A = this chain, B = another copy of it.
Amino acid sequence: MTGRLTALEAAQRIADGSLTSEALVRACLDRIGEREPVVQAWQHLDMDAALNMARHVDRFGSGPLKGIPIGVKDIIDTADMPTGYGSPLYETFRPPRDAACVALARQAGASVLGKTVTTEFAYFQPGKTRNPRDPGRTPGGSSSGSAAAVADGMVPLAFGTQTAGSIIRPASFCGCVGYKPTFGLIDRTGVRPFAESLDTVGFFASTVQDAAFFASAIAGRPDLHFTDEVFRLRIGLTRTHAWEAAEPATATALDEAAARLRATGLEVREVALPERWRGLLDAQKTIMAFEAARSHAPEMLTASDRLSVKLRELLEAGALIAPEDYDAAKALVAESRAGFSDVLDGLDVLLTPSAPGEAPEGLEATGDPVFNRMWTALGVPCISVPALTGPSGMPIGVQVVGRWGDDRRALAASAAIEQVVLSM
């Protein structure tokens, strides 16, 4: 039962003494014991160590996240657990220290329950994780285990990372909240790089409030954690230049969410993105491939035969991209970033698809980040809010996009949208 408390509720109960971290962790482990054979969200989990850690935190812990167990995507270094980056090349790797975000979580009182499954180097080659709502479907990726574990109630909070759509897409597919902050909000030291201009550390939670609570504790920014902020939301509905990729389920979810928001009297206005922004999708791909070819030069040089075909093809393609094309892609991103506020003129946030549709069937692929690449390139904050259910009964999220650095407003707006959409 405690496993179904929100992280915020659990933290409050641990703080007032009506709940122990040990009991909370035990509830998580019970849920994991029951569900892990199907979901396979965890790359590394030591139940005894987790309980010992919880007891230790009950005695000596402090901080806003005191006693809250978290999952850590296995692309992020942990000193006390193996860190495999989803690659056979790092199967035996034990980093000398925690990543900065993990240390900051521990400093805030959290304890690391275990490492969650990542795709290979957070690219497209899937790990073992299945969608908790339907084990025949992908959980999405690359933060597959974190999304599945949180959505399935195995752990209240988890870290993810996003370079294309690795937080928003799996959150939508699994049915939890995913939050990719403004680029640079969370330090990346100890997070395996894929593409430096894009890689962003973010969060999974079961509510927007929890995601904000988690992020505010890690970033040391109490302001991020709005408390029942009420404001007259002005929302821009944008179908983006990628709309042809939207399946009927996503189109319906977006329309339905907009209708519900309008029904409560909120302003929802259709927004057409600038024609120039059509190039952002390809610009993101160019930047990602070009930078990945460089960041993975060590693996390509010494062990290319132990990389997946998918990844190797990307790295080979990236190495052939002309520097001028990369520079042009970066220039388009910079120009679009500078014009972002004009596009949002008079609006608080944009509402747009999280993913093309329900989680695709099969486990061989993790789905298409076509509705994420552009926003990741722009570096603006994105939140996927579980909205509706598709024709197959699978969850479908809607994505809330805010202004650069205005994560607080994007989160507060997402919470309002969550409330309206879920309450009807």
Give chain A's interface residues, CB within 8 Å of chain B: 79, 89-90, 93, 96-100, 102-104, 106-107, 184, 187-190, 193, 196-197, 219-221, 223, 291, 294-302, 319, 323, 327, 338, 405
Contacts and interface: CB of A to CB of B under 8 A. Distances in A.
Contacts of A300: 103
A158 B226 CA distance: 49
A91 to B, nearest CB: 10
When A and B form their complex, which 5 residue pairs have the shortest distance between CB atoms, in order from nearest?
A: A187-B294, A103-B298, A189-B295, A103-B297, A97-B298
Contacts of A299: 97
A61 to B, nearest CB: 13
A219 B323 contact: yes
A372 to B, nearest CB: 22
Contacts of A193: 187-189
A176 B386 CA distance: 58
A46 B294 CA distance: 28
A139 to B, nearest CB: 27
B99 A298 contact: yes
Given A103-B298, A298-B97, A299-B97, A187 B221 contact: no
B220 A197 contact: no
A298 B223 contact: no
Contact of A323 (B103, B223, B319, B323): B223
Contact of A104 (B220, B297, B327): B297
Nearest to A194: B189
Contacts of A102: 298
Most buried by B among A79, A93, A301, A405: A301
A100 B295 contact: yes
A231 to B, nearest CB: 20
A296 B298 CA distance: 25
A184 B327 CA distance: 11
A291 B323 contact: no
A104 B187 contact: no
A66 to B, nearest CB: 15
A134 B89 CA distance: 46
Given A193-B189, A196-B188, A223-B323, A294 B93 contact: no
Nearest to A219: B323
Given A298-B103, A323-B223, A93 B90 contact: no
Contacts of A338: 338
Contacts of A103: 297-298, 300-302
A106 B301 contact: yes
A298 B100 contact: yes
A297 B100 contact: yes
A98 B296 CA distance: 10
Contacts of A327: 405
